[in-house]
Amino acid sequence: MKHHWLAGILLGLLGLPAGPPGAVEYPPAPTAAQLGIMQGRPVPDGKRVTLANWMSPPFNRWSLQNVPQLLPTATVYRGDGPPAELPVRARDLAGLRFEVTPGSTLSIAEWLAASYTDGFIVVQDGRIVYEAYLNGMQPQTHHLAYSLSKSVIGILAGVLADTGHLDVARKVEDYVPELKASGFAGYSVRELLDMETAIRWKEDYEDPYGNWRRWKDAIGWTPSAAPAEGAPEGNYEFLQTLQRDPDWTGGFKYVSPNAEVLGWVLERAGGMPLAELISRRIWIPLGAQHDAFITTDRSFAPAAAGGFGATLRDLARFGQLVLNNGRVASRQVVSEKWLADMRFNGSNQAWRNGQYRGYWNPAGSYRSLWYVTGDADGSLEAIGIHGQRLHINPVRRLVFVRLSSCPDPVSRADYDVSSRAIAAISAALSSRP
């Protein structure tokens, strides 16, 4: 591991010595302000966040809370009604300790500070029981959710399927004829939703020459003022260039462009831009307190796979919608049928035969752009790079949201430690005051 706090943890999780007993320490991660990032006017060289560095550490400590200052965005309007109630029934969880590695423990507060967390909330039975803001984040701060965005799109697909606007059995090109010559042609909307397409794609977040980097160029997340000669001019043009992988043998394969194609399909099926669809079909009926946003490319096409951003509490409200079988008060936003299908009809065989080959959540599945963990409580998750996580436990009636600016895009150690924290909190809340 490249970054300090996870190195000892990873060794311990692997059963290797991380140092003499009592020697492992996990100091708080420096905040953007402590690092001097975007501090002062003018901001000194080396401390400025730009399109060239905003996704990289340490600059992401500032950028993920300030995306609309860096990228074009479309507003996801919350409406003009009162926000859905999210009352507080606080529990003192900051000092709750859990085992990180054998013989090494952290309190919840220590874990949050060390793990580059920006915001963390726990909701039980629709009430906030614990909430923490770090690194300058506030309740009104919008934070990029990265691939949690996919799970928002998955619920939107369910809403449009409920109303008859979307048929998940139909082929992609039925909705988007522009994709007839692409690798997506012939796949159903359902196969997009479940990441079961054999697209030639490698989700490598750190390869400066890979297809993920080319996709970032297309969606406007890089400094290119104009595309290179012959390169796609935007997201939707880029999607038309992707082709099949003849060597893929089937099963789950994580391909972010699947969600981008789905966003395009939903725009065609719903008859309006994606930001407006999310607003009308989810964000307004959800009773969100604040507008959200989604980043757009130079042609104003949205980044459906990772460009959604919102406040911590509104993401908790979104999680509560899923926990409550699609209802907000007396209003059914997405059908119980869609959510039941999401929880129970994912293919464990596709998961085990797919990209992760069963080493992570071997009893799980992936359905409608959500992870189904396969644990005893039937928990669901939405996950984004750099530590974003929405965890829903339907049995214990719990929603967890963690927004972060971790240095590494993907860290198994970070995921495992956050899972231990979630398990400790869940156990503590199982005995109510």
Q: Which residues are catalytic?
A: 147
Question: Residue 397: which of 301, 344, 319, 335 has the closest Cα?
Answer: 319
CA distance 419 to 378: 15
